[in-house]
Structure 1
């Protein structure tokens, strides 16, 4: 008789999800703090010393995009997107489960398509050598972050809807 392997896959997945959520939350916190610090320093330097921070506008744009891309998987995993429950009045568990499956397919599919498109866009930006105007920060980095964000969001949506599907069963 062969020994049965001991697998604690759900526990490991939960640990990975908690760790990823912690790291993404910490990254969001740091980006937000950098954005606040940059804005404060730029305002003081601009009005008190008549010498604004070089590239502050570009950095603000990149930091805002970074913040959105880092927060997207967290929002998706928590199920905090805006929902319109068109079929909420449906009776019967089969129809409710069918609605959950349809929403899951649409959400995961859309996030997946956007991730693939962002990969193509990031590759194009990298090939063309596109950079910001004054600081020359490669724009492909933002594209790759966006692609990763949408890919992770697709996985987060899959986990979220799997949990929701089980709850409605």
Structure 2
């Protein structure tokens, strides 16, 4: 007779229900930002070459939209486990060492994400205190800093979920 842990099923059930919502929200936001980038570039090129009047601040907006796109996509990439991986213990046959390697990789990944989130939080606070804005459009830069901090925080949680499920698979 096989006994299963009820808490594992409820945790798996919650994650399987939350994951599509996260994918839809962040994926939709990425789609909107990507569409804005494409639209801005097309309009800027047409305005520049046909009317000799480029879009004011197009370079700044492109930079901000690219940063936004990267920060929105990071948790999705992490949750899907699509980061570049290096198999250092590929030749290891021991299941214990493989699980130990997965545990260490997970702890390091989550720790680095948390560290970057803390640094970005500190940087965003400085930008907000100083009132720093972009040069021509005067868009507050702290908004991107806070988005980055939130992105890395959510990515740390996504990494924990991903490594937990991978760790459970290897069991």
TM-score, shorter chain, exceeding 0.5: yes
Report the TM-score when normalising by structure 1.
Answer: 0.94
Q: Distance in 2 between matches of 1:161 and 1:154?
A: 10
In structure 2, stretches of 5+ residues that fail to align are 1-8
How much has 1:13 moved relative to structure 2? 3.0
1:1-169 paired onto structure 2 within 5 Å: 8-169=10-171
Q: Distance in 2 between matches of 1:9 and 1:162?
A: 11
Deviant stretches of 4+, over 6 Å? none
Report the TM-score when normalising by structure 2.
Answer: 0.93
Match of 1:3 in 2: none
Q: Distance in 2 between matches of 1:9 and 1:82?
A: 27
How much has 1:152 moved relative to structure 2? 0.4
How much has 1:154 moved relative to structure 2? 0.4
Q: Distance in 2 between matches of 1:35 and 1:117?
A: 27
In structure 1, stretches of 5+ residues that fail to align are 1-6
Q: Distance in 1 between matches of 2:16 and 2:166?
A: 15
Match of 1:4 in 2: none
Residues matched between the structures, number: 163
